[in-house]
């Protein structure tokens, strides 16, 4: 997919989602995909799935991701995600691969992430010693 | 630990209030990073920091055209934090066809082979996120190794499974899925629920392509569901708002929808329990949103599976009641999904009555505030439409069309046109609806809709006069759409003469109606109307003058097409005789029958998606080519071809029920070709017979003449059997003993029985055998017909790699004989009745060593023949009788004489039975038994 197409999709879908009212359902159609979104305060989490995939569970994947972020950052907010965008990616990688749920246990995901952080810290300490 | 430089940079960007400032800051940073990179003497930390900055700019939408190489370098760093950023960099900046992929393949392979699992994981993430052909070809086997290796940790296996899934979706040809099927399927049994979840996702994709190779997944999926849902056996970590691992439950329920329903009665009962438990659990609505969502997600998937298994089952009836409640729910999500699932049910069932009860609610959903819900309502109405409710639904839809969203209208028009055509019982209704459609939603009526009207009117004489009348009427309304003019032009040109005697429809009035709008039309329509006019000249010579004036005028227009038509028509019309005119304007022949362009248009709209749909929107006939149905079709060819042929159903005015009509299907229509059976390519060449375990003959031969004993033994497993028979029935117990001190996992047994012999397992086998433990599996046997083959059994288990053992089961034909005793007179009476060949067979058998009468006697007894004493005048000769029983092909009487000759060590065996097949096969069995000499040492 070219960057141009990507930008177009992001723009289209953002518009579609923002124009929906709160009471409406969390699903809508965009071309051949279903868009599932969930709003947390001013943050929207948006996913695209196959028409055949399970909508409600996709909604809960979003929620699980938010829960993990929340636990990791401690009351997560937009700024956490902006300044630590790479960590948001790392956490997502532990949750989803190839668009499929990889690990649904919050505890397991957090354990892996803290392990990564510990390694990073270790390396930073060694660096400082030099 | 945090990169200060990065934080400062992000804060700077956020402080830029206008885009120009941001651009300035970005350009400055890019220039800075470029110089730093050129310098070449950067520390790992700095490289990491700058790559991060580039990534942040990339996320904001700026073009990044350098820095890829630095990211690639970071991958091979020894420091984890640097490696991690390197990988993040390449996954964000590279796409699958990037030339740089080649550069990273080797580093990735190195990390896949690394002993450090965390490096394996990073490499797997990268493959899953980039995943081009190059990666697939060079790394798929490494990924597979990580997935199936017994040494892999759970968290690596999970990632490997999904990485493979991604590679398979992109490049299915690179993954030899059938070869890997068994080991992959076995992982469903993994104790780690996360691993099970990932591998189920993988199998769901693979099984759609290779259903046969993944058949084993059916029992495994059912057992796993049973374990989680009914036995409630799961780790507490995986409970999500009181629901155990909903993602896995849904995946497994979905996986089963890609297979035909299981034939194993135990399995279907287990599955029934699972579904019933889910339905029962859903009676209450939890307060917590997450809990409720997860519960409903499972419920909807379970209903979909139940519908797939049997859409008239009790479970589905219960589910329909729940759905009826859901479509009235206050929660929009639930309404949406209720309608969607109901559409699924309506699309496959014959029994629409339950759904029709809710017609009003569903029609109301077309007025829902949310377009997503309105769409589902439309789909459901389309799916539940049949002859009885077509008029109501179509008229509701037409009424709604005026206020429907623009985005919906075109699809609605298509669907209305299809429904009308499919379920019309009166011709006039069809014409009315379509013309109304064209007049009220003209802009949304695609070309194919009016083409179709023309086809149908042309092919149905009874429609022609009526349509001509109606079309003329519509064209006189003030807002006549151009599409109406096209239909009108065509129909009047062909059939205008049929109404020429009616008031207000005289030739000149017809012409004037058309020509009044001529000037306002597009060129294409004008061209079409010119053709109508030349036809008019042929039909109504009296208005020739008026028409010639039009042609004359158009001989000078700029448009080449119009000009050419006008000139040619002018020439034809002014020829001295009308011969050519009459030939050219002869009535149109009927259109050949073909698939409705409307349906192909609609199907095009549904488009290609990654997972195959398990059902399609629409009536029953649109659902005959779903994956599971294709597979089932190999077993049971449904004679009832698809009723796509709409022209037929319209022509036949007395359609009684939707979908299922046999009579109206045109023979040898291209669209009714039987679905091609899923090719058995999944089997990798060898049959079970070719793979029998070495040395199995020794054990088997010993068991031929007995009912109990050892069937197989090696250093790991010992297999024994016990059996008993009565008439055409039998019971067989197989014992599996694990001789090792470790547990045998992924243990599975399957049986391949010859036609006519039913081998059913009467309870479900455990999937593992504990150390030094024996388990037992019971089978019931039923002999339905004369069987000359024995069943085969396949045992597989996991010990490092998957081990498979193939064996023959000593269930010989003679097991189903019941011994009887006959008197001398009876015996010879029947002996004569049966007579000679082919029902008599005779053989001289020379044995090694001496003849042993006791052995011969026990062979006959073991093969369940009754020895009749004092029948043969010569002592030492055997006379034996029995009745061979089958449940479907009746009984076969068996008589035999066995005459030993001690001098020559030969037997003469004569068999007479009422079936030549039985005679021949019984002779072979006894022949082999008499010759058999057990190997000297038997342990």
Q: Identify the weakest region by mean pLDDT among A98-107, B59-68, B359-368, B401-410.
A: B401-410
Q: How far is B758 from chain A (nearest CA, A)?
A: 38
Residues of A in contact with B237 (CB under 8 A): 105-108
Residue B789: pLDDT above 50? yes
Contacts of A59 in chain B (CB under 8 A): 293, 333
Q: What is the pLDDT of residue B775?
A: 85
**Which one of A31, A82, A93, A111 would you mutate to disrupt binding with B, by most B Cβ within 10 Å of its Cβ?**
A93
Distance CA B94, CA B101 (A): 8
The tens digit of pLDDT for each residue in B848-893 reads 878 888 888 888 888 888 888 878 878 778 888 998 888 888 888 8
User: Measured between CA atoms, how close is A30 to chain B, in angstroms?
Assistant: 10
CB contact under 8 A, B84 and A90: yes
> Angle between the B80-93 and B68-75 helix axes, to the nearest 10 degrees?
140
Spatial contact of B522 and B484, defined as CB atoms under 8 Å apart: no
Give percent of chain B above pLDDT 90. Answer: 25
What tokens appear for B282 in the block? 């859903």
- CA pair distance B77, B44, nearest whole angstrom: 8
Distance from CA of B396 to the nearest CA of A (A): 24
| C-alpha distances out from residue B133 to B112, B170, B180, B201, B845, Å | 18, 8, 20, 21, 65
Chain A residue nearest residue B373, CA to CA? A25
H helices of B18-100, in order, are: 19-39, 44-59, 68-75, 80-93
For the ranges A40-49, B111-120, B570-579, the lowest mean pLDDT is seen at: B570-579
pLDDT at B649 over 50: no
Q: Say whether B88 and A90 touch across the interface (CB within 8 A).
A: yes
pLDDT band at B628 (very low <50, low <70, confident <90, very high): low
For chains A and B, CB pairs below 8 A equal: 165
pLDDT digits (tens, 9 = 90+) for B705-757: 877 888 888 888 888 888 888 888 888 888 888 888 888 888 888 888 888 88
pLDDT, position B610: 53
pLDDT per position as a tens digit, B47-77: 999 999 999 999 888 888 888 888 999 999 9
Out of B7, B45, B193, the one facing A127 most closely (by C-beta) is: B45
In this prediction, residue B597 carries a pLDDT of 64
Q: In whole numbers, what is the pLDDT of chain B averaged over residues?
A: 83
- Contact B166/A123, CB-based, under 8 Å? no
Best probe of the B interface among A16, A56, A116, by most B CBs < 10 A, is A56
Which residue of B lies nearest to A27 if distances are taken between CA atoms? B372
Query: Smallest Cα–Cα separation from B71: which of B49, B55, B87?
Result: B87
Query: What pLDDT does residue B864 have?
Result: 87
- pLDDT per position as a tens digit, B209-240: 999 999 999 999 999 999 999 999 999 999 99
Q: Choose between B495 and B591: higher pLDDT.
A: B495
CA separation, residue B773 to residues B220, B738, B778, B805, B807 (Å): 22, 5, 17, 19, 21
The CA distance from B68 to B81, in Å, is 17
Contact at CB, B162 and A104, closer than 8 angstroms: no
Distance, C-alpha B852 to centroid of its chain: 61
Give strand ranges (E) for B107-225. none
Mind listing the pLDDT tens digit for each residue in B809-822? 888 888 899 888 88
pLDDT tens-digit map of B520-562? 888 888 888 888 888 888 888 888 888 888 888 888 888 888 8
A111 vs B contacts (CB less than 8 Å): none
Tokens of B288: 């917590």
Helix (H, G, I), strand (E, B), or coil: what is residue B633? helix
**pLDDT average, residue stretch A79-104:** 92
CA distance B812 to chain A (A): 49
ipTM reported for the complex surpasses 0.85 = yes
Put simply, the answer to whether A56 touches B159 (Cβ < 8 Å) is no
| Cβ atoms of residues B30 and B57 within 8 Å | yes
Contact A56 B300 (CB under 8 A): yes
Question: pLDDT tens-digit profile of B187-198?
Answer: 999 989 999 999
Question: Given this model, what pLDDT does residue B608 score?
Answer: 42
Residue B303 pLDDT exceeds 90: yes
Q: What is the pLDDT of residues B27-50, one digit of tens each?
A: 999 999 999 998 878 888 899 999
CB contact under 8 A, B293 and A124: no
**Structure token pair of residue B23:** 């651009």
Neighboring chain B residues of A61 at a CB cutoff of 8 Å = 247
């Amino acid at each position: 997919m070219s960057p141009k197409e990507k930008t177009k999709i992001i723009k289209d879908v953002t518009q579609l989602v923002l124009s929906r009212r709160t009471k409406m359902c969390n699903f809508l159609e965009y071309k051949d995909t279903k868009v599932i979104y969930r709003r947390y305060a001013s943050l929207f989490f948006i996913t695209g799935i196959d028409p055949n995939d399970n909508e409600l569970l996709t909604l809960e994947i979003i929620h699980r991701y938010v829960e993990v972020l929340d636990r990791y950052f401690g009351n997560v907010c937009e700024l956490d995600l902006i300044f630590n965008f790479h960590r948001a990616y790392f956490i997502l990688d532990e949750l989803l691969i190839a668009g499929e749920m990889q690990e649904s246990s919050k505890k397991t995901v957090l354990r892996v992430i803290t392990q990564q952080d510990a390694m990073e810290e270790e390396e930073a300490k060694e660096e400082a010693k030099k | 630990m945090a990169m200060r430089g990065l934080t400062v940079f992000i804060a700077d960007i956020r402080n830029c209030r206008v885009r120009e400032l941001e651009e300035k800051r970005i350009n400055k940073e890019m220039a800075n990073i470029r110089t730093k990179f050129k310098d070449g003497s950067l520390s790992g930390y700095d490289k990491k920091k700058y790559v991060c900055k580039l990534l942040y700019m990339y996320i904001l939408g700026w073009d990044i055209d350098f820095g890829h190489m630095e990211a690639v370098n970071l991958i091979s760093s020894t420091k984890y934090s640097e490696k991690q950023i390197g990988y993040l960099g390449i996954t964000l900046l590279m796409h699958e066809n990037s030339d740089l992929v080649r550069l990273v393949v080797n580093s990735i392979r190195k990390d896949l082979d690394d002993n450090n699992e965390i490096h394996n994981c990073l490499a797997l993430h990268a493959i899953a996120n980039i995943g081009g052909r190059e990666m697939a070809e060079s790394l798929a086997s490494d990924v597979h190794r990580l997935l199936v290796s017994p040494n892999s940790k759970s968290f690596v296996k999970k990632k490997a499974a999904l990485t493979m899934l991604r590679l398979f979706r992109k490049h299915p040809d690179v993954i030899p899925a059938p070869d890997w099927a068994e080991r992959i399927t076995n992982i469903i049994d993994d104790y780690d629920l996360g691993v099970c979840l990932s591998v189920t996702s993988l199998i769901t994709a693979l099984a759609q392509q290779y259903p046969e190779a993944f058949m084993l997944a059916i029992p495994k999926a059912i057992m796993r569901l049973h374990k989680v849902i009914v036995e409630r056996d799961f780790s507490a970590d995986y409970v999500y708002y009181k629901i155990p691992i909903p993602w896995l439950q849904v995946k497994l329920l979905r996986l089963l929808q890609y297979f035909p329903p299981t034939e194993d009665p135990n399995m279907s009962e287990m599955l029934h329990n699972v579904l019933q438990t889910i339905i029962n659990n859903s009676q209450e609505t939890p307060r917590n949103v997450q809990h409720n969502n997860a519960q409903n997600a499972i419920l909807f998937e379970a209903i979909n599976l139940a519908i797939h298994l049997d859409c008239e089952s009790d479970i589905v009836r219960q589910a329909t009641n729940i759905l009826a409640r859901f479509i009235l729910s206050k929660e929009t999500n639930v309404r949406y999904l209720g309608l969607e699932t109901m559409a699924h049910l309506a699309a496959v069932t014959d029994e629409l009555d339950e759904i029709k009860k809710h017609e009003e609610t569903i029609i109301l959903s077309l007025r829902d505030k949310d377009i997503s819900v309105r769409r589902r309502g439309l789909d459901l109405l389309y799916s539940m439409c049949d002859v009885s409710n077509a008029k109501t639904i179509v008229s509701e839809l037409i009424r709604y069309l005026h206020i429907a969203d623009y985005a919906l209208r075109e699809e609605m028009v298509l669907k209305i046109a299809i429904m009308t055509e499919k379920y019309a019982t009166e011709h006039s209704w069809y014409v009315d609806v379509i013309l109304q459609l064209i007049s009220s939603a003209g802009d949304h009526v695609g070309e194919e809709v009016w083409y179709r009207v023309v086809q149908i009117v042309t092919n149905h004489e009874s429609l022609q006069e009526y349509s001509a009348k109606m079309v003329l009427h519509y064209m006189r309304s003030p807002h006549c759409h151009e599409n109406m003019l096209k239909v009108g032009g065509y129909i009047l040109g062909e059939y205008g003469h049929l109404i020429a005697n009616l008031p207000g429809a005289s030739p000149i009035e017809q012409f004037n109606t058309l020509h009044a709008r001529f000037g306002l039309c597009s060129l294409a329509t004008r061209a079409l109307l010119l053709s109508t006019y030349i036809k008019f000249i042929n039909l109504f010579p009296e208005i020739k003058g008026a028409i010639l004036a039009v042609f004359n005028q158009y001989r000078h227009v700029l448009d080449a097409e119009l000009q050419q038509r006008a000139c040619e028509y002018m020439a034809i019309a002014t020829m001295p005789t009308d011969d050519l005119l009459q030939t050219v304007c002869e009535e149109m022949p009927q259109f050949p029958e073909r698939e409705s362009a409307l349906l192909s248009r609609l199907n095009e709209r549904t488009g290609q998606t990654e997972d195959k749909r398990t059902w399609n929107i629409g009536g029953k006939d649109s659902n005959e080519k779903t994956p599971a149905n294709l597979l089932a079709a190999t077993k049971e060819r449904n004679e009832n071809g698809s009723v796509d042929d709409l022209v037929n159903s319209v022509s036949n005015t007395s359609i009684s029920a939707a979908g299922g009509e046999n009579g109206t299907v045109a023979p040898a229509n291209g669209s009714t070709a039987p679905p091609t059976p899923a090719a058995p390519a999944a089997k990798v060449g060898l049959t079970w017979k070719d793979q029998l375990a070495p040395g199995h003959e020794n054990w088997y031969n010993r068991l031929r003449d007995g009912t109990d004993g050892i069937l197989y033994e090696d250093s790991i497993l010992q297999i024994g059997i016990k059996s008993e028979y009565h008439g055409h029935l039998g019971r067989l117990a197989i014992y599996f003993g694990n001789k090792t001190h470790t547990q045998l996992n992924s243990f599975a047994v399957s049986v391949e029985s010859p036609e006519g012999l039913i081998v059913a397992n009467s309870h479900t086998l455990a999937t593992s055998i504990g150390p030094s433990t024996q388990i037992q599996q019971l089978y019931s046997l039923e002999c339905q017909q004369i069987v000359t083959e024995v069943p085969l059994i396949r045992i597989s288990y996991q010990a490092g790699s998957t081990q498979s053992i193939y064996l023959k089961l000593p269930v010989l034909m003679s097991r189903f004989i019941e011994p009887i005793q006959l008197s001398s007179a009876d015996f010879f009476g029947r002996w004569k009745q049966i007579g000679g060949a082919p029902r008599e067979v005779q053989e001289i058998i020379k044995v090694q060593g001496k003849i042993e009468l006791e052995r011969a006697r026990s062979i006959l007894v073991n093969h369940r023949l009754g020895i009749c004493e004092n029948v043969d005048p010569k002592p030492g000769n055997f006379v034996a009788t029995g009745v061979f029983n089958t449940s479907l092909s009746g009984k076969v009487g068996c008589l035999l004489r066995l005459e030993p000759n001690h001098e020559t060590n030969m037997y003469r065996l004569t068999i007479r039975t009422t079936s030549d097949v039985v005679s021949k096969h019984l002779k072979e069995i006894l022949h082999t038994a008499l010759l058999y000499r057990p190997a000297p040492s038997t342990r």
